[in-house]
Amino acid sequence: MSDYWSDYWKAGHLSSFAQSNQDNYSGEIASFWQEFLRNHNLPHCNIVDIGSGNGALIDLALNNFKYSQPNYIGVDTAKLSIPKHLSQENVRFHQNTRAESLPFDSSTIDVAISQFGFEYTNMDKALKELSRSVKSGGEVCFVMHHKDSVIVKPNALIRKAVDEVMIKNGPFDVMSMFVNAIHKFGKNNPTAEKYRHSLNSQIQQLSRANKFGLYGTGFPDLLKDTMSSSSIDFKSRKSKLKSFRSEMKTLAQRLDNLLSVALDNDRMDSLSVSMSELGFTNVTHSRLHHGDELLGVSIKANLA
Ligand SMILES: C[S@@+](CC[C@H](N)C(=O)[O-])C[C@H]1O[C@@H](n2cnc3c(N)ncnc32)[C@H](O)[C@@H]1O
């Protein structure tokens, strides 16, 4: 599962929802963490970030909020590519490490945090590990995906469109046949024309039904990049098609994973129950909004 995350982090992203490599969380998510972490900006405070990725949360704490006193420890199953500015004495990362089996002695952690990471773990096992590692009186706080959020809902549309584009004899297959026919018979011959018409009509249909999802797959860009100029040769076209197929496979895996881990209200409730059973107290939920839009849900608790 974490292979695509290793590839993602290797590409140099700082956070999991980034337009550019340097992008970090801002707005309500950043404010939420600024407020929560303020009380823990203390010397010798051990803060563990579960599913840390390349250290977005730790970067926010240290470099945006200037909370420089704690020790920050990132834990992630993926192979990471930590930015140089996080190579500091009080920061360390455990890569290839599962939250379900933490490399810490019992009762040595003051605070466990997670931003869109904890829900990817086997939560019961990870909670059990945290109830062992976190000190009595310590605190946990996770921000997680919710099925109704503005992040998850559009991704469900993109996931649907991936299947619609890649279905047998669907747009991707017809485009491949179109490329082969141009190569074999020339641009305006009847076979190539037949595929061109079929491709156009499939794209129009898909665009009417799920335009957002279709554009989210990148298929319209592939079409434009590959077919708009006759100077692109057959080999380059085939190579673009091959890369696109593999990108769609990874995208489908990543989105299936996102959609399956995102919580709904029932799962939030059962998470609270599991936490109480493991000795966590003061369990509270909240919803993070940007205006009317749901960004995610948070759960906080103390260890008795
Ligand atoms: C959506 S990313 C979030 C990364 C980071 N917190 C951020 O917001 O940029 C989820 C991360 O959880 C990690 N992960 C998934 N399952 C895990 C597990 N069982 N234990 C630790 N990390 C896990 C993945 O490798 C991935 O890096």
Contact by Cβ (8 Å): 297, 286: yes
The residue ranges of every structural domain in the chain are 3-149+262-303, 152-258
Average pLDDT score, the chain: 95
Cut 0.85: pTM above it: yes
Tokens of 45: 């405070």
Q: Which band of pLDDT confidence, cut at 50, 70 and 90, is reported for residue 19? A: low
C-alpha of residue 121 to centroid of ligand 1, in Å: 8
pLDDT at 40 > cutoff 60:
yes
Residues framing ligand 1 (Cβ under 6 A)? 2, 5, 15-16, 50-53, 56-57, 75-78, 98-100, 115-117, 120-121
Residue with tokens 């810490």: 104
Q: Which band of pLDDT confidence, cut at 50, 70 and 90, is reported for residue 247? A: very high
Give the ligand 1 atom nearest the CA of 15: 9
pLDDT at 2 > cutoff 70:
no
Give the ligand 1 atom nearest the CA of 9: 27
Q: How far apart are CA 20 and CA 12, in angstroms?
A: 9
CATH of 3-149+262-303, one of 3.40.50.2000, 1.10.10.10, 1.10.1060.10, 3.40.50.150: 3.40.50.150
Residue of 32, 77, 133, 260 to test ligand 1 pocket, by largest number of atoms within 8 Å of CB: 77
Q: How far apart are CA 273 and CA 286, in angstroms?
A: 16
pLDDT at 25 > cutoff 70:
yes
Q: What is the DSSP string of 41-62?
A: --TT-EEEEET-TTTHHHHIII
What is the model's pLDDT at position 165?
A: 98
- Cβ neighbours for 206, distance < 8 A, ≥ 6 positions apart: 161, 164, 165, 171, 214
pLDDT at 188 > cutoff 90:
no
The protein residue with its alpha carbon nearest to ligand 1, atom 25, reads 78
Q: What is the pLDDT of residues 104-133, one digit of tens each?
A: 999 999 999 999 999 999 999 999 999 999
Give the ligand 1 atom nearest the CA of 17: 9
pLDDT at 15 > cutoff 80:
yes
Give the ligand 1 atom nearest the CA of 14: 9
What is the model's pLDDT at position 186?
A: 86
Instruction: Read off the pLDDT of each residue in 254-269 and give the average, rounded to a whole number.
Output: 96
pLDDT at 210 > cutoff 70:
yes
What is the model's pLDDT at position 3?
A: 86
Q: Residue 273 class from Cβ within 10 Å (0-12 exposed, 13-18 middle, 19+ buried)?
A: exposed
pLDDT at 20 > cutoff 80:
no
Q: What is the pLDDT of residues 69-85, one digit of tens each?
A: 999 999 999 999 999 99
